Amino acid sequence: MKTPVLWRKSTHSGANEGNCVELANLNGHIAIRDSKSPHTGHLALTHQTFAALLTHLTSKP
């Protein structure tokens, strides 16, 4: 039996702003998708690459 993927909305997504990102743990990777268009697919990153992405994004003014 296949385990369903549990997506959660990022705490940084705005409630009514339309910028909604969802994350999921996907077989040892972090999956990222647009919650407004979940059927269009997702991006899967290793934990190390995801951490580097977050570091890069939070270092920008």
Q: Does any domain span residue 1?
A: no
pLDDT digits 0-9 by tens, 3-59: 788 999 877 666 666 678 899 999 889 999 988 888 899 999 999 999 999 899 888
Q: Say what the pLDDT of residue 20 is.
A: 84
Residue 19 maps to a domain: yes
Closest CA to 45 of 20, 59, 28, 21: 28
For 9-34, give one letter per residue: b (16+ CB within 10 A) or e: eeeeeeeeeeebebbbeeeebbbbbe
* Inside any domain, residue 2: no
| 42 in any annotated domain | yes
In a domain? residue 3: no
Q: Which domain holds residue 16?
A: 8-58
Domain count, the chain: 1
